[in-house]
Amino acid sequence: MNIRKELLDELLQECKTPPDLFGEGGILKQLTTALVERALEAELSTHLGYGKHEPKPEGQSNSRNGYSQKKIQGDSGIAAIAVPRDRHGEFEPQLVKKGQNRLPSLGAVIGRILSLSLPSPLRFAGRFIPPMPLSR
């Protein structure tokens, strides 16, 4: 998926300094919060079998039941997100699971792969990465 340059230009239009991008109220933190909340809404819609503001399917007794607040730690700092709930309490989000307070970062994923110190050569994007010991 490619993000349109026009969308990026629109988002960056008001950013004049590095804190506007990466600061406490910066665009990166706002985007992270908005993307996580939107993904959680989509997860709940999949779980319930119908979208927000759509009529409930016949025979479906479960429904949306507001939100709970949760603080998560991501690459852009701590963000407060609204996690949607269902009336029966059966919804288990997969993006930010119950009890989880950290979002995985790309750096963490790559670090985890490298920390396994794979005995065989690792190829990433067609390039050879030799196994290496990591100091702790």
DSSP-derived 3-state class of residue 11 = helix
Domain edges within the chain: 8-53+61-112
User: What percent of the chain stands above pLDDT 90?
Assistant: 38
Among the ranges given (11-25, 60-74, 108-122), the one the predictor scored with the smallest mean pLDDT = 108-122
Return the structure tokens found at 14.
């008001």
Taking the C-alpha atoms of residue 43 and residue 92, their distance in angstroms, rounded to an integer, is 9
CA distances from 84 to 9, 45, 47, 72 (A): 31, 10, 11, 15
Report pLDDT for 14: 85
**Residue 16 predicted with pLDDT over 90:** no
Is the pTM higher than 0.95? The answer reads no
Least-confidence region, from 24-38, 66-80, 102-116:
102-116
Mean pLDDT of the chain, nearest integer:
80
Q: Could you read off the pLDDT of 74-131 as tens digits, one per residue?
A: 877 888 999 999 999 999 998 888 899 988 764 554 455 445 444 444 444 455 555 5
pLDDT interval class at 54 (50, 70, 90): very high
Give the residue carrying structure tokens 């607040």. 69
Which run of H or of E encompasses 32? helix 27-48
Say if residues 41 and 84 touch (Cβ distance below 8 Å).
yes
Adjacent-strand bridge partners of 127: 124
CB contact at 8 A, 69 and 76: no
Average pLDDT over residues 30-52: 91
E-state strands within the chain: 64-74, 77-86, 122-124, 127-129
